[in-house]
Structures are given as C-alpha cells and as structure tokens.
Structure 1
Amino acid sequence: MTDLLLIVPHPDDEVFGCGGTFVRMAAHGKKVATLTLTRGGAGRSLGLCSQAELPNVREQELRGSLAALAVSEAHIWDYPDYVPDANRGMEHRDGLQAVPEADIVGRIADLILALKPRSILTFAPNGSNGHPDHVYTHLYAMKAIEQSGHKLEKLYYFASERPYAGEARAGFLAPQEIAARHLYPTHFVHLETEIEAKLRAMGHHRTQALSVLSFMQYAPRRLHVESFHQAYPELAPGEASATVLWL
C-alpha cells in the first residue's frame, strides 16, 4: 500500500510545497507515489532548449528532483498544460480544462485503485494561485476519488498561511475568487536536515530557475515549513494537529 499519493499538474509542483516532507517520509520508511498530469511544455525554457524539446527536458528535471527527494514511484502523463498567450512562441491552449473529463478522471481513478493510497495530497479548490491547471487538477482528483470508491484515511491540500495576493492574470481565477476559496493550514511540517535535499531537488528544475527564485523571494518560509489543509476527515473548528498522518 502507498502511504501518500501526490496529484499535481506540472513538474516542479512536487518540490515547493512538500519536497521536504517526502524526504522525511522516506526516512521513516513510508512509501510515496506521485502523479504529474503534464510534462510542462508551456513553461519557460530560458534558452536552455527549444520549446519543442521542453517537455522531454522538464520530464528529466522532474525525475532528477524526485530522486533527490527519495521518491521512487513517479507517474508522468502527457496531457497539455495551459498556454496563456503567444509570448512563449506557442498558440493559446486551455490546458487541463480542455481535456475530456471522463478520460482523465477515469485514468486517475484507475491509478488510485492500483496504488490504494492511505492519503492523497493535491491542490486546494483555488489552485493556490488560481492557475487553471491547478484548479482543474483539484476538480479531477476529487471526482476520481469518488469514482474509484477507494476509502482514504486522509485527504490533504496544499495550504498557505497568507491568501495569495498576486495580480489578476488571463485565464486564472479572479483575485477575489482565489481569496474566497482560500483554506488555511491545519498541519505544519517543520523541516530540519531535509532542507538540503529540498534545495537539491529545486536545483534540478534548471529551466524553471525564475520560478525557483520567485519562490525563494516571495515565500522563503516555505523553504523550511511546509503546510497543509486537512480536507478529510474534516476537523472541528479550532482543532488541528502538529503531525500529519503519513509520518
């Protein structure tokens, strides 16, 4: 049985919010599996490769990151990710929201049944920053859990102590909608030696160096404190725990 299944849309989503937790889980003999729905072909390349080569490059970056985090089971699918504009030399595309729902939900449900995870971790309803791929990953994951019929022990979302305060972006949830759907953390993992492995994993995402630097600038606390919202079973008001189930 898998202790935790992470469901995210893009390479690098695995490290920012939970990379250190993965390292600690491995040290405790816990099994983690990850599902990444796209290969991140709409991201920036920083001139390190062509846009056409980027999906292959980012998949290898993801595999390197997961190895640094001591995760040995990675499922990497090839659905299209969101392209907001033509600034990256690509035509606009709607990404995960345009994927036939029955197809992707069915595949996720099949994977859940195969892995039988004790817990699942994914994005919250607001997608953290309103990114459409994050939002639809949440929707598909919720429907897949229901369709699978698998009984989870716990369901967690990424969560931050401060609501996202970025500017409005085309195709993203409006800032007021992001705020309305914000869920505060119920659980925290305070990292110690795991920070070194987390930084090594971040370093594997060379094409996404600007995202790494932005993360370090605007969310430095998340380098050493990873936070989550327990969605199932629901906690009573004011109830929380310092220790997540999978530890």
Structure 2
Amino acid sequence: MRAPNLIAHAAAATLLAPVALAQPAAPRTLVAVFAHADDEGIVGPVLARYAREGAHVYVVVATDGAQGGAHTDIPRGPELARVRADELRCASQALGIREPVTLDFPDAKLGDYAADPSLLYRLTQRIADELQRLRPDAIVTFGPDGATGHPDHRLVGDVVTQLVRAGAPGVPERLFYAWIPVEGMQAMNPRGAPPMLVPQAKYLSMRVSVAPADLDAARRAMACHHTQYSAEVVARIVPLQERTWNGAVSLARAFSTAPGTDLFR
C-alpha cells in the first residue's frame, strides 16, 4: 500500500482553506464648523477634494443666518433664515458633501454669549454633541482671529478649540484653522482687513492640494449664496481665490504636542 502523500494533502488543505480577505478601510470623516452659511467657502476646494476622494464631509453651521443678507431685499428674520438654509444645502450639493447641519443659534448674537455663561455652555454642549455624533478624524474651523474678526466667528472657533484641547468625546486632535488673505477681504470689503487678523505665512504649514474640479465645485457653491454675494462679487472674488490658492489651500495647525521643559527653548 502506498503511503499517503502528506505534502500533497497539506497543499490541498491550504488551497481549500477559507482566505481572510482584507477589509476596506472605513472612510475618513472631515467636519468643518463655522458660524454662518457661506463661511464654508473659505475652504470650499478642500471640502470638495476630500468628498471627491470618498471621505464623509460635513459642514456644521452654528447660527440661523437670520441677520445677514448684504445682497437681498428679504427682510431680516425667519424668512431670510429659511432662504439661507436653502443656500447652504445648494452649496453642499455643489461641493459634493453631506447634508449640512445647522444648530440655529441666533445670528450676529454669539459674541454676546461671552457675557452669559449659561448661553455659552449651551452653545458649547450643542457643538460637542454634534461632534460626538459625527466623530470626525479632522476638524476645520476659525482661528482666534475669526478670519474676518466677526465675533460669531471668533466664538465658534474658540469653542471648537476648547473641545479639542479638553479631549471631548469623539473629538480628534487634528484641528486646523481657516483664514482669508488681505486681498480676499479687500475684494469683499474695500476697507480691507482690520489689523493683525491675517496669520503669518510660517504658521500656514498645512497645504492641501486641490484639483481644477475642486475649484469649480467651490465656485458653484459660492454662487449658491445669492443673499450674500452678487454675481459681480462672485466674478471678482473667485479668480482672486484661485490665484491665492494656486493649486493648494493653506491652513494653520491649531496645536503642536511636542514635549518641552523650558518656556524659552
């Protein structure tokens, strides 16, 4: 009787054994937290790029937008808030990102919250709850300058920064600040930027490359905000943005966690 070919049997068993297939990596999640509908435009190409690459991208807007409308005859109040919410949905679709999240705090009033701890805590908790639900891998918001100096911008950025530094549930360490160059503010407002708002170039160390398709998406998204930008303003700002970005959008890192023992070293 011939001895069984153990090597052959082992090879066959190996071939027939179930193969563990590598599981695809879960999509990353990027959340941009801003004060108003249309604020997302300062990083529009970045949002479009990551959405195009398959990330889950969300915009969270803190206010209802009821007080802002530089290019509309709609009276300030609930009707303007409804229109601006529609504009934000239009912009989100143009960017290819998820349905926007609006928290509906009163527009142009967040700066007042600093004087009322109960209101400030409510805003903080609401933003914290949303970030815990979305569980982002990275966040973009305003730096301490608020990009334009707007009190609503400043407070939203401060709250998000507080939550990252405190290690709030579901909140990542990767936090980046958006900004607007002086030329951009001059295009929107001939008076230009108030002093000391624009970060020094050395702090804009994160450069996110974007494609022509991302720039086009950002252009279409900006045009959605009819109450904020006239066609003439869009035509003036968009080419300036594209020249400034020059293929990559710069952001500032919020934190460095490098250890140290001496404040002067």
TM-score range, shorter chain: 0.7 to 0.9
Partner of 1:61: 87
SS of the residue aligned with 2:93?
helix
The alpha-carbon deviation at position 161 of structure 1 amounts to: 6.1
2:217 maps to 1:197: yes
Partner of 2:36: 10
The alpha-carbon deviation at position 125 of structure 1 amounts to: 0.8
Q: Number of aligned pairs? A: 217
State the distance in 1 between where 2:236 and 2:97 align: 25
2:153 maps to 1:134: yes
Read off the aligned partner of 2:139 and give its amino acid letter.
Answer: I
Q: Between Structure 1 and Structure 2, which shows a larger proportion of helix residues?
A: 2
Q: Which runs of 5+ in 1 are unaligned?
A: 83-94, 237-247
Read off the aligned partner of 1:130 and give its amino acid letter.
Answer: G
2:155 maps to 1:155: no
The structure with more radius of gyration: 2
Read off the aligned partner of 2:251 and give its amino acid letter.
Answer: F
Q: Give the alignment partner of residue 205 of structure 2, picking from 180, 186, 194.
A: 186
Q: Quick check: 1:106–1:144 contact (8 Å CA) kept in 2?
A: no
Distance 1:118 1:42, change over 3 A: same
The alpha-carbon deviation at position 50 of structure 1 amounts to: 2.9
Q: Quick check: 2:184–2:237 contact (8 Å CA) kept in 1?
A: no
The alpha-carbon deviation at position 222 of structure 1 amounts to: 4.3
Greater Cα shift, 34-43 or 157-166 = 157-166
State the distance in 2 between where 1:179 and 1:202 align: 22
Q: Give the alignment partner of residue 80 of structure 1, picking from 96, 99, 106.
A: 106
Q: Give the alignment partner of residue 52 of structure 2, picking from 22, 27, 36.
A: 27
Q: Under a length normalisation based on structure 1, what TM-score does the superposition of the two structures give? A: 0.75
2:56 maps to 1:36: no
Q: Quick check: 2:70–2:229 contact (8 Å CA) kept in 1?
A: no
Distance 1:118 1:48, change over 3 A: same
State the distance in 2 between where 1:140 and 1:215 align: 29
1:157-236 matched pairs, under 5 angstroms: 157-159=177-179, 175-178=194-197, 184-191=203-210, 192-210=212-230, 212=234, 215-216=237-238, 219-222=241-244, 225-233=248-256
Q: Which runs of 5+ in 2 are unaligned?
A: 1-26, 114-118, 260-265
Read off the aligned partner of 1:127 and give its amino acid letter.
Answer: G
Q: Under a length normalisation based on structure 2, what TM-score does the superposition of the two structures give? A: 0.70
1:179-205, Cα deviation, whole Å (9 max, x unpaired): 689973112234322222111111111
Distance 1:70 1:180, change over 3 A: closer
The alpha-carbon deviation at position 101 of structure 1 amounts to: 0.8
Partner of 1:87: none
Read off the aligned partner of 1:107 and give its amino acid letter.
Answer: R
Q: Quick check: 2:49–2:214 contact (8 Å CA) kept in 1?
A: yes
Query: Identity of counterpart residues, as a percentage?
Result: 28
Distance 1:2 1:39, change over 3 A: farther
